[in-house]
Amino acid sequence: DYAFTGLNVNAKPFIPNVNAAEFVPARLWLGGSQRQVLFVATAAPPMENGDTELSAEDNWERKGCEVSEAEPGGGTAGDGGPAEEDSPQEEGTEEDEEVPTPKMVPAKPDAPKKEHVNVVFIGHVDAGKSTIGGQIMYLTGMVDKRTLEKYEREAKEKNRETWYLSWALDTNQEERDKGKTVEVGRAYFETEKKHFTILDAPGHKSFVPNMIGGASQADLAVLVISARKGEFETGFEKGGQTREHAMLAKTAGVKHLIVLVNKMDDPTVNWSLERYEECKEKLVPFLKKVGFNPRKDIHFMPCSGLTGANLKEPAEHCSWYTGLPFIPHLDSLPNFTRSSDGPVRLPIVDKYKDMGTVVLGKLESGSISKAQQLVMMPNRHTVEVLSLLSDDVETDDAGPGENLKLRLKGIEEEEILPGFILCTPESLCHSGRTFDAQIVIIEHKSIICPGYNAVLHIHTCIEEVQITALICLVDKKTGEKSKTRPRFVKQDQVCIARLRTAGTICLETFKDFPQMGRFTLRDEGKTIAIGKVLKLVAEKD
């Protein structure tokens, strides 16, 4: 280590031959009246040749360790970067320090690639989405018993002992204290045939935009409803989230819906068939109206998230349900068709800095490999893929339907916004501001005229939009278009309108690329309309 003496604080000490990347922050206190804190770089031990190929995680862990050695006081000195995130703040004991994030499950490299399926859990607040997610992870062995016991202990201290399962997915403090999911939680689990990503969407109505982002990555939705007396009804009435979520899932392109009737073990329900049928009868007409086909697309099943009944093994109290339990049912679903030879389209969900620019998203079509040149639309930045992580496991190439983390070269993190799209230079996706779309008005008290402003959610992009013109009304039953231009549209009508967004966004027509051609319009915290892009209109300069 290089030590500095002398009290000239402003003099920059010179350190020979030390690579900046090997610096580890440490603290040096100057005694006496100076009271200054200097950040001194202590050189990390030189690497052997074999060690140069360190993965990103390794690197940070290694830094994290050294920092804590240099600093018995706990907490890193000057590095607010990932080293700090990786070390859990509360725990002091070594034993707990191994399990800050139970979310990583490295796959065996020689295993054949299983089909990736993204499952989004949606439904009203407190229907039990996170708890079911946690229970599934426990049953499939993704969270070990010890971690859960730790959660259970912590939850008991807060008098919240029934919440401990949801803590496997609600990882940050705010979500745990309030028992509400805010961001879309992610976790993985595997069955014999498939690899699943759980997207645990928030049920609260303030966080519906987050939920839309989660649903836009999903292949299959699980609508969780609570069978407990009173809870099902509030979730289903006008202000409840059960209706809105089912509708948003349909718009986001989810083809198959599994309805889990949760909390069947509740004393007010006690696995009663009547209550189950009653929930079913109320839901089916509505789901039909949204566009799901009750015979083909929807599957109902009773379960209990807290006890885990009917998730993996059949429930013994429930003799009247003869179908497969939840996890085997997921495994038995037919494969999803995806084009791996289509154009590359990867809508960005999130981005952050970590030794470069990292973006997250689900590859909708095409395949991406390491060191490939891609273009970030709509800004047309050329970027190169430095490394690829599929569900936190490093790979060299990825196919459609996988959740990816890409480390990119040639673009700064500030230049990316969620909703941007990675494509290949040969087939860029379309971008623009004006487009014609067919819209169904779902819920709006007054009439909608040209000049109406709303918020547009299309794939992972959120942008302000204005309806500039109404072109014609469409008859719901016959599909005929009106000859005259309507002056306004109101609830339950279908119209074709011209929309103009505030900024340039990436989009495709619904016909060419369904995932990027459907959207929702929201205003005042409610979903007003759903629609699909019919054609893109060139800008008049």
Contact call for residues 444 and 490 (beta carbons, < 8 A): yes
Nearest residue to 200 via CA among 168, 244, 174, 248: 168
Which fold is adopted by the domain 345-423?
Elongation Factor Tu (Ef-tu); domain 3 (2.40.30)
CATH of domain 115-332: 3.40.50.300
CA angle centred on 540, ends 538 and 541, rounded to 5° = 125
Distances from the Cα of 541 to the Cα of 378, 436, 538, angstroms: 18, 18, 9
pLDDT above 60 for 173: yes
3-state percent helix, strand, coil for the chain, nearest multiple of 5:
25, 30, 45
Among 98-112, 176-190, 227-241, 382-396, name the one with the lowest average pLDDT.
98-112
Residue 46 predicted with pLDDT over 70: no
Q: Which of 155, 162, 182, 154 is nearest to 170 (CA)?
A: 182
Backbone angles phi and psi of 188, in degrees to 5:
-125, 150
Nearest to 64 by CA among 41, 39, 81: 81
At residue 334 the predicted structure's pLDDT band, cuts being 50, 70 and 90, is confident
Alpha helices in 16-168 (DSSP H): 56-70, 82-86, 129-139, 145-157
DSSP per-residue letters across 220-243: EEEEEEE-STTHHHHHHSTT-HHH
Check whether 304 has a pLDDT greater than 50. yes
CA 54 vs CA 69, 302, 357, 484: distances in Å: 21, 47, 18, 66
| CA angle centred on 332, ends 311 and 247, rounded to 5° | 75
**321 pLDDT above the threshold of 60:** yes
User: φ, ψ for residue 138 (rounded to 5)?
Assistant: -70, -45
The token duo for 130 is: 């996170």
Average pLDDT, the chain: 76
pLDDT of residue 339: 65
Average pLDDT over residues 300-329: 85
Q: Measured between alpha carbons, how far is 268 from 266 in angstroms, rounded to an integer? A: 5
pLDDT of residue 315: 81
Do residues 434 and 500 lie in contact, with contact meaning Cβ atoms separated by under 8 Å?
yes
For residue 66, give every residue at least 6 positions away whose Cβ sits within 8 Å of its Cβ, in sequence order, or none.
24, 44
Please determine, for residue 158, whether its predicted confidence score (pLDDT) is greater than 70.
Answer: yes
- The tokens describing 205, both together, are 């109505």
Percent of the chain whose pLDDT exceeds 70? 74
Mean pLDDT comparison of 26-30, 314-318, 502-506, highest-scoring range = 502-506
Q: How many other C-beta atoms lie within 10 A of the C-beta of residue 112?
A: 5
Residue 514 pLDDT > 50: yes
Whether 115-332 and 345-423 share one fold: the answer is: no
Contact 363, 404 (CB under 8 A): yes
Q: pLDDT tens digits, residue range 206-239? A: 677 777 766 766 778 888 888 888 887 877 776 6
pLDDT at 58: 44
Which pLDDT score is estimated for 112? 55
Going by C-beta distance under 8 Å and a sequence separation of 6 or more, which residues neighbour residue 24? 41, 42, 44, 63, 66, 67, 70
* pLDDT tens readout for residues 443-480: 888 999 999 999 998 888 889 999 999 999 998 778 88
Q: What residue spans define the domains of the chain?
A: 115-332, 345-423, 431-537
**Backbone dihedral region for residue 484 (phi beyond 0: left; psi -120 to 50: alpha; all else: beta):** beta
| pLDDT band, residue 17 (cuts 50/70/90) | low
The per-residue pLDDT for 238 is 64
Q: Sorting pLDDT into bands at 50, 70 and 90, what band is 157?
A: confident
- Among the ranges given (163-177, 476-490, 520-534), the one the predictor scored with the smallest mean pLDDT: 163-177
Tokens encoding 447: 């009439």
What is the pLDDT, as a whole number, of residue 252?
67
Average pLDDT rounded to a whole number, residues 282-287: 84
Q: What percent of the chain has pLDDT over 90?
A: 13
Whole-number Å distance between alpha carbons of 15 and 65: 23
Q: Which CATH number describes the domain made up of 431-537?
A: 2.40.30.10
Output the pLDDT for position 433: 92
Mean pLDDT, residues 293-304 taken together = 86
Residues in the chain, overall count = 541
Q: What is the pLDDT of residues 136-152, one digit of tens each?
A: 888 888 888 888 888 88
Q: How confident is the model at residue 264 (pLDDT cuts 50, 70, 90)?
A: confident
Q: Has residue 194 got a pLDDT over 50? A: yes
Top mean pLDDT of 31-35, 326-330, 332-336, 382-386 is at: 382-386
Instruction: Kindly tell me if the per-residue pLDDT of 521 is higher than 80.
Output: yes
